[in-house]
Structure 1
Amino acid sequence: MLPAKTLSAVSLFSGAGGMDVGFVNAGIRPIFANELDSSACKTYAANHGDLIQPGSILDHFDDLHRFKGVDVVFGGPPCQGFSVAGKMDPNDIRSGLIRTFFDAVDLIQPQAFVCENVKALAALSRWQDIRNELTTRASKNYHVALILLNSSDFGVPQNRERMFLIGVRKGHPVQSDLQLQQALSESLQKHHKPAPTVGELIRTLGPAGSPANQRVCKAKITFASNPVLRKSPYAGMLFNGAGRPLNSFGRSSTLPASMGGNKTPIVDEECIFQGAKNYVEEYHQHLMKGGTPRKGEAPKRLRRLTIDECLAIQTFPVDYILSGSQSSAYKQIGNAVPCLMAEAVAASLRDIMLTYTSNIEQADSYLNYALQSQEA
């Protein structure tokens, strides 16, 4: 049974479907989705049904006209070319896919769109020209708002900052970019909720290897021979690899798509489950006082995040199915938009659309068409 006043959507660059979880929960249901990665497509299909179409979005442009006038187009085009965690290369072929997203918006002409990407695209001066290009292009037909959000404000135990470029079609009672920006800000405030700490979240799952937390990461943790020290024990580099320790009493740092090996974040299980003194902080203090770096493997109490913990940190449903290898599973999770963050954005947009528009009959017709097509 569809919820009352469910809006229709086209989901692009869908990945494993994290953004889609949030949009569906907020009452915006995709009738078409597309993703290039084959394992992510299988994951999407296992959780959302067979509406996912694999391959490059460019291969499906001839089909997109069927969805002209759909309520929302949403997605998160690949961001490696803009991310501070990448090479920040504007010539990276993946950087151009954000323009492809807006090509699809121009073709489909939805009532609204949501384009998600990394914070750097919205915040760094080096990307000012691209921001101007995208907002100018979208502003021809839409009132546009650019917002920066931290997922931890929406119940996600992770400090993951992302930008959302959101547009609502001109001709509706939303009268300006400023009015849209203010309406989104006010609505998003209503969706703020406290996030659990890393330790609190992991305790709900149990120790690594236990029934609800079985999919462990076996990548070893060894002491860095030449530690890089910072003021915080959770910065710098105390151990091998780029997977830094997480504070059990705080939020996770951004989970990267490169997890699965020594880039997977580290937790202290004795601190989390037994209340033991924090090993990482004690070792950091030892080094800051001029102590000699330790050698070999770190104590077994330190281990890397499991797949189930990463899913939970990204606020996926507990029964979410992942397809593909372990490395692919970590990649899919790291690439995802946190579900609760996506839900807050989608719910705020839906509230605005239902307040300022009466496009529900059209939405229902799209949804009925999609359901009939799937049944056929």
Structure 2
Amino acid sequence: MSALGYALSPIILDAADLGVPQHRKRLFIVGTRSKHPVELALPVFAHVPALSFVDFGAGKWAPVNRPGRSPRTLTRVAAGRRQYGSRFLAPYYGSGSGETGRCLSRPIGTITTRDRWSVIDGDCMRMLTADENRAAMAFPAEYRLPENHRLAVHMLGNAVPPPMTREVINALRKAA
């Protein structure tokens, strides 16, 4: 890009700083035909809690202590209960947010291309719904998703939250 005459500005942004209820870091490389790389003045918004999109009346709940549940999942749930009480989020696969999950008063971690986040409510748990994943990505409620849950989550996990794109474009317009 430099050889083609572009000045490059790499910028790492966290979606939570732009009003998205999700900690999601993304690298934006801004290329301009200016002599020097541009510096973007981006706003910083208050963090939006995960509680803003979790619907405790939705989804398919199952007992936490059902036969066949992974011992690692049970360990994460027990640690989350000690840390946050009876309602919280926990990564279902992998280590994610450590071994205790996340409280609902802070943004969720990154929404990935496959179901990753479970909601714990007392002795029951479930995965986030496609609608909750959409809201965690800050897509509007009317944004249409595929009927297939797995495909919807996959598409959302590959997306950039719209507020991130909007704020980068607005900052570019101001810098131009």
TM-score range, shorter chain: 0.7 to 0.9
Task: Please tell me whether residue 154 in structure 1 is matched to residue 25 in structure 2.
Answer: no
Matched ranges for 1:31-70 at <5 A: none
Matched ranges for 1:140-219 at <5 A: 140-170=4-34, 175-177=35-37, 180=38, 183-184=39-40, 187-188=41-42, 191-202=43-54, 206-209=55-58, 216=59
Identity of aligned residues (%): 24
Aligned to 2:106: 250
C-alpha change, 1:240 and 1:198, in structure 2 (3 Å) is: closer
Q: 1:193, CA displacement in angstroms? A: 1.0
Q: Is there any run of 5+ residues in structure 1 with no aligned partner, and where?
A: 1-136, 210-215, 270-278, 280-298, 354-376
What CA RMSD, in Å, does the superposition of the two structures yield over aligned residues?
2.9
C-alpha change, 1:220 and 1:258, in structure 2 (3 Å) is: farther
Q: Distance in 2 between matches of 1:328 and 1:320?
A: 14
Task: Please tell me whether residue 327 in structure 1 is matched to residue 176 in structure 2.
Answer: no
Aligned to 1:348: 171
Describe the SS at the equivalent of 2:138.
coil
- Between structures 1 and 2, the one with greater helix share: 1
Q: 1:195, CA displacement in angstroms? A: 2.4
Q: Distance in 2 between matches of 1:330 and 1:305?
A: 10
Which residue, 281, 294, 306 being the options, matches 2:129?
306
Q: Distance in 1 between matches of 2:117 and 2:92?
A: 11
C-alpha change, 1:155 and 1:240, in structure 2 (3 Å) is: closer
User: TM-score with structure 2 length normalisation?
Assistant: 0.75
Describe the SS at the equivalent of 1:329.
helix
Larger radius of gyration: 1
Q: Confirm or deny: 8 A CA contact 2:21 2:52 kept in the other structure.
A: no
User: TM-score with structure 1 length normalisation?
Assistant: 0.38
Task: Please tell me whether residue 316 in structure 1 is matched to residue 156 in structure 2.
Answer: no
Task: Please tell me whether residue 225 in structure 1 is matched to residue 71 in structure 2.
Answer: yes
Q: 1:217, CA displacement in angstroms? A: 5.6
Q: Distance in 2 between matches of 1:267 and 1:317?
A: 22
Q: Is there any run of 5+ residues in structure 2 with no aligned partner, and where?
A: 84-89
Name the amino acid aligned to 1:225.
Answer: P
Describe the SS at the equivalent of 2:4.
coil
Matched ranges for 1:290-305 at <5 A: 299-300=123-124, 302-305=125-128
Runs of 4+ in structure 1 off by over 4 angstroms are: 217-223, 226-229
Q: Confirm or deny: 8 A CA contact 2:113 2:155 kept in the other structure.
A: yes
